[in-house]
Amino acid sequence: MFSGKLKNNSNPLKLVLLLIISIVLISCETVSYYTQAARGQLAIVFAREDLQRLLSEEDLSPPLREKFGKVLQIREFAERELLLPVGENYLTYVDVEREHVVWNVFAAPEFSTEAQNWCYPIAGCVSYRGYFSELAAIRYAEQLKAEGFDVYTGGVDAYSTLGWFQDSLLSTVLSREDYQLAGLIFHELAHQLVYLPGDTTFNESFASTIEQEGLRRWLLSNDQVEIIDTAVTDRDRQQQFVQLVIEYRDKLDALYKKEMTASVMRSEKTQLQSQLREAYQKLRQEWQAYAGYDGWFSQPLNNAQLSTVGSYNDMVPFFTGLLQQFNQNLALFYKEVKRIAELSDADREALIAGGR
């Protein structure tokens, strides 16, 4: 599923063009997938409402008025201070009338944490398959599970169309605190600035780095000391969560390299999953019973699920270090990231490995 911006009159035409390309190039099963993707995106395009028009309505609820106004401020900050390609993104609102806008399906072999990839005409190869219907996602996940894959399905509240469309503010993110919403918008706009088709980890780690740096600057500019403390606590907990998951992902990687029967390996895999749950409970106690990750740990903790954490975080230390090398100068940082993205796969991997 593609993850971007045209004038309103061109949007339906663009979707039709993408669908035709899909029909010509790919199998019947995948055509069905692209059809639901096109329909889902088209539904969002046709449901968009102009934020300024909504703000002019007297009967707009105070919470929505405040949230819409904050989004407009975040847009201005992203363009002025973070040099992000804001364009006409987040000038419209869509009530999708469901908990999540998309459900992503992830898969990995039973004895590998290397995620399965799917390739698309626009986004290149990515480690997930997105559905606008939860039921369709579950059905596809069950199909993969029957084929022997570890499978994980997760709801997504926002996504980037990579500049192909004007991204809208969605109802699925309205419950977030303002600082969390700011971080989300910075993250999604970063995808429109730099996107390397076929490399989920590169793209998500870069966007996560911009999210963190943008949020730091946003909070400082608004002198929100109390919220800064809350955001720092959130970030620290997230980093501890990531470190814990990666630690056990690496333990599983080591296990899968051993020579043993499938039944023995399966048993040891289950033990490591149990140990991960126990380690999380200890970490949770250190957080004064903060339950923000309870839902994640209620899932199977299989290879597919663990692979999602690495996708968003594995290269963050590299990008953070690179940003520091340029003394937090975003213009120079972006120029260098774009240069790196244009390198051959081998040269880029060698550079990143040397910079970690």
Would you say how long the chain is, in residues?
356
Establish if 37 belongs to a structural domain: yes
Q: 246 with 113: CB under 8 angstroms? A: no
Establish if 74 belongs to a structural domain: yes
Domain co-membership, 63 together with 137: yes
Q: Which residues lie below 8 Å from residue 271, measured CB to CB, with a gap of 6+?
A: none
Q: Residue 73 belongs to what domain range?
A: 8-176
**Predicted local confidence at residue 31, as pLDDT:** 76
Each residue of 79-102: pLDDT tens digit?
Answer: 999 999 999 999 999 999 999 999
Establish if 312 belongs to a structural domain: yes
Residues 144-162: what's their mean pLDDT?
95
Residue 353: which pLDDT band, with cuts at 50, 70 and 90?
confident
Write out the H or E segment, with its range, that includes residue 205.
Answer: helix 200-221
What six digits make up the tokens of 55?
């703000």
Q: Higher model confidence: residue 226 or residue 270?
A: 270
Residues 71-82: what's their mean pLDDT?
97
**Predicted local confidence at residue 15, as pLDDT:** 54
Domain co-membership, 327 together with 241: yes
Domain co-membership, 105 together with 20: yes
Torsion of CA 346, 4, 128, 322, to 10 degrees: 40
Each residue of 276-312: pLDDT tens digit?
Answer: 999 999 999 999 989 999 999 999 999 999 999 876 7
Residue 77: which pLDDT band, with cuts at 50, 70 and 90?
very high
In whole angstroms, how far apart are CA 150 and each of 97, 228, 309, 340? Answer: 30, 38, 15, 33
Domain co-membership, 168 together with 231: no
**Predicted local confidence at residue 328, as pLDDT:** 96
Q: Identify which of 163-167, 193-197, 331-335 has the greatest average pLDDT.
A: 331-335
What is the number of domains present in the chain? 2
Each residue of 104-115: pLDDT tens digit?
Answer: 999 999 999 999
**Predicted local confidence at residue 2, as pLDDT:** 38
Domain co-membership, 318 together with 169: no
3-state secondary structure 44-97: HHHCCEEHHHHHCCCCCCHHHHHHHHHHHHHHHHHHHCCCCCCCCCCCEEECCC
Going by their DSSP bridges, the two strands 92-94 and 169-170 should be labelled as parallel
CA pair distance 312, 82, nearest whole angstrom:
20
Confidence (pTM): 0.85
Establish if 200 belongs to a structural domain: no
Q: Higher model confidence: residue 2 or residue 100?
A: 100
CA pair distance 20, 24, nearest whole angstrom:
6
Nearest to 152 by CA among 40, 295, 32: 295
Domain co-membership, 107 together with 49: yes
Q: 97 with 43: CB under 8 angstroms? A: no
CA pair distance 241, 246, nearest whole angstrom:
9
Tell me the β-bridge partners of 130.
104
